[in-house]
Chains A and B, each alone.
Chain A
Amino acid sequence: MKIKNIFTYCFISSLFLFSLICIWKILVTLQGIELTNFNFNKLFIFGIILCAISLLIGKKLNLNIKIILLALLFSIFDYFISTNLPIWYSFGIFLISLFFFNNIKDYDKNFLSKNHSSQKLFFNFLTLFGITLFSFVILFPFYMMLVTSFKTQTLLLLNPLDFSINFAQGLPELFKSYFIVFKDYNFGRYMLTSTIVSLGTVIITLIFAIPAAYAVARLNFFGKNFLSTSILIIYLFPAIVLVIPLYTIFSQLGLRNSIEGLLIVYTATTLPVAIYMLQGYFKSIPKELEEAGIIDGQNWLGIIFKIILPLSLPAISSVALYVFMIAWNEFLFSLMFLDRPNTFTLSRAIQFLNVGAETPRQYLMAGSVVVTLPILIIFVYFEKYLVSGLTAGSVKG
């Protein structure tokens, strides 16, 4: 066994443990508890000692007893160097160290004498740490959005680090920002507009895209190849180069500030990707089924409705969900085309709130939760369909 390996093992492990503890401490700080020091020196050195002990014990002791013992030792040590902290804080430290020692329980002298053991170790920890860090970095803004919407202006200014939710104040008080956002800021109306626009876009897009995709996938006509390549090229053109001409044309036609105008633009911009996705799927349906349909005397419409549609429901659902997501999240066109509050979509309304004079941030965040939550629920619930939609439509975003 190399000394170098033992040293790197102890060093990396302790660093990993310390990083986990840091994340925990940050989370604790955000509950409004005063904590101003990570205690790097003490915790790091004690971590190294415990890792060395774990290595020395190896498999001589029952592994479960070993990890519980080491985790207890670590939490007690942490309890003594930090003062005035609630018991749940120490309990969290205990759970984290339990998780940590469980991860290093299998490392013993044999493992460290193997080839590349320090690299393997490093990457194992990097993975674990990466997962923790990525989850933290990604979820934290969402968490902040949610908690801010439950707070009041004074509380937010008093201690910007206090992200605890006070459930004792009762539900009406807790959801006050939401009541205000819906009542005074008219978010119910905006939500309805957003829903109508998004669902409308989905329906119209499908009505246009299904026949076109079928023609591109199945029928022979002059200019077919040209059409299928132009679909992709058109799709790559961004909204920002369309905005000025569309604005001028829509202003002159009086289509601005209307839901119809928005529907037309959203449909046109999502149509290429919808056709592209659907034709790919239609091509995978065996031709024999359609030929059987023709023999039965079906016309093209009958074939599309009775054979193609039922078979391609999964693809249609993923197109529908993807288009819904694009329309729901769309911002640029709603910013350009809507300037009267009675036609606002949710995204536009939130931007209006933010630009408007001194809207308290809890209302802004409540509005943000209102626009984010539906799409996240849909995403988690229909993940399979949406992920395939995202993959196919990934050229845009």
Chain B
Amino acid sequence: MSSKLAKIEKRTAYLLILPSVLLVFSIILFPIFSNIWISFKYVELKDLRIPEPRAKKLVKSIKDNPNQIKIIYKLRNSSLTQEITNVKFKDKYPDNIEPISLNNKCQFKSNLLKCELGNWPKKYRENLEIIFQNTNNQEISKKELKSYKPKLSGKSQNILLTYEFTLNNFKKVIKDKAFIDLLSTTFYYTFFGTIGAIVFGILAAQMVNQKFFGRTFMRSVLLFPYVAPVVALAYTWELLLDPTSGTLNNLLINYQIIDGPINLLGQKYVTLNILGFDFKLRLALTTVIIFEIWRYFPLAFLFILARLQAVPKELYEAADVDGANPIQKFLNITLPQILAVISILFMIRFIWNFNKFEDIFLLTGGASGTRTLPINVYQQGFSIGDIGMGSAVSIVIVVFLLIFMFIYFKLLGKRADEN
């Protein structure tokens, strides 16, 4: 009896999870694997359109003979790169109409015109002309003839499904002189974006953890940048930072802090003079990182605040009795308590910042030294139009991602052991 129940339970369980598993498999897992497939192929954006045999039907009346009519089919292969094999043609005709003569490719049977048009090479064009007559010697209505549309079918090789593979994409990715630069930009962006978000998250959480008027309101406000759509925020920042009519530059010039406008999003390097040393700062990248921090520190804030509120008050009271100063209290009580949260946050944010696409894409489009790996996927795949290259770059991302995930789950496991 119980084993029967267990069987039913099992079956129900599979039934309940099946739809979700299928969907996730086809939209997430399958694409990840097909990425590997595509990355070993030479595929361009324009190859993605499946070649289609097409026909345009023209109906022409014949002078002095209303009982006959000329039909011209303008046939063509829609693809500029691939051939279509075994093209078949089908068109329907009204009753009492018959072709006068037919070439050997075509047949006419019970109102249906069927043709075997063979193989069409790329860019193929041909006109098929057939004269029809009415068997009852009546006038043929053009309108009726036009209302039928020819149907064509043919086999074409789908470039994605061939077994031709190449290593060129990966060779190109790795041999590219900009690859090292690409990697370093990505890591620079990821690392400083993550650290910055966590530092500001800690600061904000410390502030909001104290009692003051308007605290709940403050907590909502701090989450605004994270909740609002990235498109709106990125464009607002773009206007804010604009060199000529942007608010920030005008404000700084107005208060005589800078002499001339700075193109914060369009300038690759800025040379700073600190203590007599010239120091090159990647300006656009720094601006993008600041946007990143601005947008994602709320998340760190939310987590750290939740953790801070769980720290027992007695710890601080005991420290007060011992005469600890605020810095000591922070270093010796608060920090150890939030360290676990911070390390998890760091890993999660690191993974996500590594894959961040929208923010940079909307702010700079990857120009002025802000091209990261995800931006490169887009540029290779859609700006240059080399789908295979784009795929190869995403494989590089996936490899890094797997390494990070491995570390992350190790970390999670270690934490679970400690508790």
Contact = CB atoms under 8 A, between A and B. Distances in A.
A297 interface: no
Given A161-B251, A375-B228, A390-B226, A134 B32 contact: no
Interface string B216-256: 00101111111111111101110110000111001100111
A178 to B, nearest CB: 14
Interface stretch (A72-80, A119-127, A179-187): A119-127
B281 interface: no
- Report whether over half of chain A's contact residues are helix, strand or loop; otherwise say mixed: helix
A331 B48 contact: no
B210 A242 contact: no
Given A127-B206, A390-B223, A245 B229 contact: no
Contacts of B29: 234
A244 B207 contact: no
Contacts of B10: 219-222
Nearest to A161: B250
Given A29-B254, A142-B224, A244-B38, A368 B27 contact: no
Given A216-B17, A397-B299, A119 B326 contact: yes
Contacts of B306: 391
A15 to B, nearest CB: 17
A116 B9 contact: no
A131 B20 contact: no
- 8 pairs of A and B residues whose beta carbons are closest in the complex: A268-B27, A238-B355, A368-B232, A245-B31, A211-B16, A219-B13, A221-B13, A116-B325
Interface string A247-284: 11101100000000000110111011001000000000
B48 A248 contact: yes
Interface in B309-328: 323, 325-327
B381 A244 contact: yes
A331 B24 contact: no
A246 interface: yes
Contacts of B378: 240, 243
Interface string B1-33: 000001001101110110111011011111110
A24 interface: no
Nearest to A265: B27
A98 B110 CA distance: 97
Interface of A: 26, 29-30, 35-38, 115-116, 119-120, 122-123, 127, 130-131, 134-135, 137-139, 141-142, 144-145, 148, 156-157, 160-161, 163, 208-209, 211-212, 214-216, 219-222, 224, 227, 233-234, 236-249, 251-252, 264-265, 267-269, 271-272, 275, 300, 325, 328-329, 331-332, 336, 346-347, 350-351, 354, 361, 364-365, 367-369, 371-372, 375-376, 379-380, 383, 386-387, 390-391, 394-397
B390 to A, nearest CB: 5
B257 to A, nearest CB: 10
A364 B13 CA distance: 49
Contacts, number: 281
Q: Is the interface on chain B under 10, 10 to 19, 20 to 34, or 35 or more residues?
A: 35 or more
23 contacts: A29-B251, A37-B255, A119-B327, A135-B221, A138-B224, A138-B294, A157-B245, A212-B19, A227-B21, A237-B28, A241-B401, A242-B32, A243-B377, A245-B31, A246-B31, A252-B50, A268-B27, A268-B28, A368-B229, A390-B227, A390-B302, A391-B303, A394-B302
B383 to A, nearest CB: 12
A329 B233 CA distance: 11
B78 to A, nearest CB: 14
A208 B23 CA distance: 9
A18 to B, nearest CB: 14
B296 interface: yes
B289 interface: no
Contact of B325 (A38, A115, A247, A329): A115
A116 B374 CA distance: 49
B9 A249 contact: no
Contacts of A369: 232
A397 to B, nearest CB: 6
A138 B348 CA distance: 23
B79 interface: no
A139 B214 CA distance: 15
A243, A269, A336 — most chain B CB neighbours (10 Å): A243
Given A265-B27, A350-B235, A394 B348 contact: yes
B302 A387 contact: yes
A375 B220 CA distance: 13
B390 A244 contact: yes
Nearest to B18: A212
A397 B292 CA distance: 11
B195 interface: no
B391 interface: yes
Contacts of A354: 235
Given A211-B16, A368-B236, 6 more contacts: A161-B251, A236-B401, A244-B35, A331-B231, A391-B302, A397-B296
B398 interface: yes
Contact of A160 (B233, B247, B296, B357): B247
Nearest to B229: A329
B210 A386 contact: no
Contact of B358 (A157, A214, A224, A332): A332
